[in-house]
Amino acid sequence: MDVSPETKLNNQSTFSYKSFSSPQLDLRALKSQEEPCKSFHLNPIILHTESIFQFGFLSAATDLNPLKQASGSPDQFDGHLSNLKETDEDCSIWDTPILISAVSIIFAAGVTIALVLQIYLGERSASIKGVLVSDHQRCTALGQRVLQDGGSSVDAAIAGALCLGVVHPHVSGVGGGGVMLVHDIHKNETRVINFQGHAPKTLGKKMLQNAGLQVGVPGMLRGLHHAHSLYGSLSWEDVVSRAADVAREGFNVSHTDAISKVKGDQLSQRFKDTFIPDDRVLSPGSYVQIPGLAGVLEAGLMSFYHGNLSQEIEDEVRANGGILSREDISSYIVELLIFVLDIRIKVPPPPSAGAALISALNLLEGIHLNENNLTESQTHRWIAEAVRAALLMADGLGKPKYNSSVAEQLSDMLSKNPTEVLLQRMNYSHTPPSEYHSTVQSLHTELLAGQVVVMGPDNLMVSVASSLNRPFGSRIITPSGIILNSLLLDFSLSNKTQGQLHTQQVQRPLLLLMPIIMVPAWGTCGIYTALSSSGGQNILHTITQIMSDMLVISFFRNSLPSAESLEESEEFIHAKGHVGQERKTNSGVQGIQRRENIIKVIKARQLFDSLI
């Protein structure tokens, strides 16, 4: 069923249906060049009520009913025309002055009633300065306030990301890293600010049993500061102090299950005092204050990378068997890259696995071009195959500066020709055994990420993802409250050397964080979309599901799928050698779409991780 742009932009319903066929997310308008392009204005921007889309092959299919005609049709009046009769009744009561007065009164009353109804019953719209979405309501409000106070889109993204590091300490924080995409609509320029951590210089082949050896150099603060130096409007101190206030004033705990899952692990006394006081996991709604972390944010960059805080981090890591040094911390450099290719989907380059996403989408496009009338079960099957094949190709992308073959590998992944070869090699009848699967996928089963997406009045699109890697990172907390990452678990491990690390000097491991920006294929007219994923198991699978619907599947399907029984889908999937696991997950995608001056929030949450 085709959905008009007006319907898509104003839809307020909550949908739960089978698979990922979502006309509401259809971006086919990107290809349309028939409508004239209107220039963007700074104000007003209309924020429509957010639409929430749920994905997962265990969800029920939405029933579609044809729209009934709302206005009158000729058929409705045919039976009444015969009742109309000519009359000689005096119509003098409708003299012109009286008629005009009556009509005027009725018209005025109607306008008044319409205005009152619009105020109380109309769609929630507001003249605002931009839109920000994040994983936490308080951080969303904080970032939105930055925009209202005249901050740039990047200012708001920084405040939101730092706030998430406070209220979601199991996901991200200043002890971790991440990546930010910034697209300037007017300049048609996209920058990648990579503040992922890297390995200590002295780390060679080491075993990872010790928590201290899992810690990489934190890049969060330096990366966000670099972004601010390029795009900031408010002062750095102003932006950071807002997140510091959240840590000082306190917040309510929301994800107690994350604490419960690590309770049985070997934890420091400081960790227990913070999250498991008196050997009791914090209950939902518990109020927590971290004044030490507020001090860290306000201390500034010099203290973190060159002063007392860097010494504190080194001491804590070494006390837990690690080798991270102050020199490693002080020498950290943010990677800044500018896209030069005129491509429609913007993803971070290596060491990010963004190329794997593009490759998987290319595979799916080829599949749908070659396969007619695919069922829902077959679609799930092909997405699983495409992700698996893409990850196999991405295994070597974690060392771009030290491996001359990476550029060639990247070119092969993004071209269409290898896609045709892979389509011939992919086994549709049965999934290969697990030993043929990429080691990348097995290493990221616990990856979580904080996500912030912004579109502001400065015509900047920002998508940022930050992470400690697994929940609570290395589970090491410094005296000031900094939770340190477990970044080094991201390095590729072979099955024969599980727990053994292979690195090269200052290498950054393969990064599966997925900030994404999509721009019109031609010129500046069309739909702009910024997305980010919150991680979870099978992060690449989740984002590929949603992106495949937005850019591939919707081209080959004009309506939502008919309802299939769950048993049929599961039997088909298991017959092909996949394992379907029913479990709740935090894996989801948030984003913002903009067309001219209309902005819409997108929340797409996968209720169940489907295939492994």
Q: Which residues define the annotated binding site? A: 467-469, 490, 536
From 589, 410, 607, select the one nearest 515 (Cα to Cα). Answer: 589
DSSP, collapsed to helix, strand or coil, labels residue 45 as strand
Tokens of 582: 């029913």
From 383, 422, 362, select the one nearest 611 (Cα to Cα). Answer: 383
| Cβ–Cβ under 8 Å, residues 524 and 594 | no
**Beta-bridge mates of residue 183:** 190, 461
DSSP, collapsed to helix, strand or coil, labels residue 46 as strand
The CA distances from residue 577 to 367, 443, 611, in Å, are 19, 21, 10
Which residues, 6+ apart, have CB-to-CB distance to 306 below 8 Å?
330
DSSP, collapsed to helix, strand or coil, labels residue 499 as coil
Give 440-484 as a DSSP string.
Answer: HHHHTTT-EEEEEEEE-TTSEEEEEEEEEESTTTTS-B-TT-PBP
CA atoms of 348 and 191, how far apart (whole Å): 9
| Cβ–Cβ under 8 Å, residues 139 and 115 | no
- Binding site residues for L-glutamate, as ranges? 467-469, 490, 536
The verdict on whether omega for the bond into residue 520 sits within 30 degrees of 0, i.e. cis, is no
CB atoms within 10 A of CB 276: 16
DSSP H or E segment with residue 531: strand 527-533
Amino acid at 251: F
CA atoms of 535 and 164, how far apart (whole Å): 14
How far from chain centre, in Å, is Cα 525? 23
